[in-house]
Amino acid sequence: MPHPVISANHVAVITGGASGIGLAAALRFAQAGMKVCIADLDDDRLKDAATKLSSAAPGGADDIMTAAVDVSRADAVASLEAAVAKKFGGTDILMNNAGIQPGSAMFGPADNWQRILGVNLWGVINGTQAFAPNMIKRGRPGLIINTGSKQGITTPPGDPAYNVSKAGVKAFTEALQHELRNTAGCKISAHLLIPGFVFTGLTARGRTEKPAGAWTAEQTIDFMIERLDAGDFYILCPDNDVPRALDERRILWAAGDIVENRPPLSRWHPDYGDAFAAFVKGR
């Protein structure tokens, strides 16, 4: 069964909510009878998403709100929080989900790095700092769900700005949960969503059909809801190609680079390929 906060007349706010994982979450929340606000940048996608959400929500369009918001701007996110409070009375679930992955290079343009960090990391920080204080003040149970990435844990080569942003989301969300659980009277908990390979506009890269190994956004959100009900902080999602056991071995190897004093990213180092392959197989 869903987490008790995911219930009728509660309020959910999802950034990056007009497509992909964000829209899938918004639809599940609307179907549960929640009032839902989605924030995104594309007006056409927001309009299309609002139509879908209005059809799914028992209260129709009255229970749906959309907002064009650049989450990298703290003032814009603060205005969103105020608008949600005015329309719906407050927020019970905040899902900081907005993210971009245009690609990056170590010595690439600074503007590209700043935009990726601005959306993926500062968007999470801005959302939390704008919404969490009033969520705590209301004294109601609630959830803050931040969308991370396995790339923020194993940090594979090839897209350093994205990896840095998602590693920051992991560290920030861990610190947030520590803060929340040590705040007197706080009934809010934080959770780190770590998707697997999910077929969305962000990952499609020109493909029109879902690869066999990928999950749909809906599968990812169903798994998220299941694990929220179980009380997980780290919601580590598998996919059709990568079982959880393989993810666990990859994560343990990445941590072992520090403990064993191996070269950074040794999984991709020519001297460690055989050792990594054996480790993954449990040998």
Q: Which residues are catalytic?
A: 162
Smallest CA-to-CA distance from 250 within 156, 147, 146, 148 is with 156
Two tokens, residue 259: 């403990």
Distance CA(251)–CA(255), nearest Å, equals 6
Beta-bridge mates of residue 188: 142
Total Cβ atoms within 10 A of residue 280:
16
Distance CA(227)–CA(143), nearest Å, equals 13
CA distances from 100 to 26, 120, 209 (A): 19, 7, 21
Smallest CA-to-CA distance from 63 within 8, 19, 25 is with 8
CA distances from 75 to 81, 127, 129, 237 (A): 10, 10, 11, 33
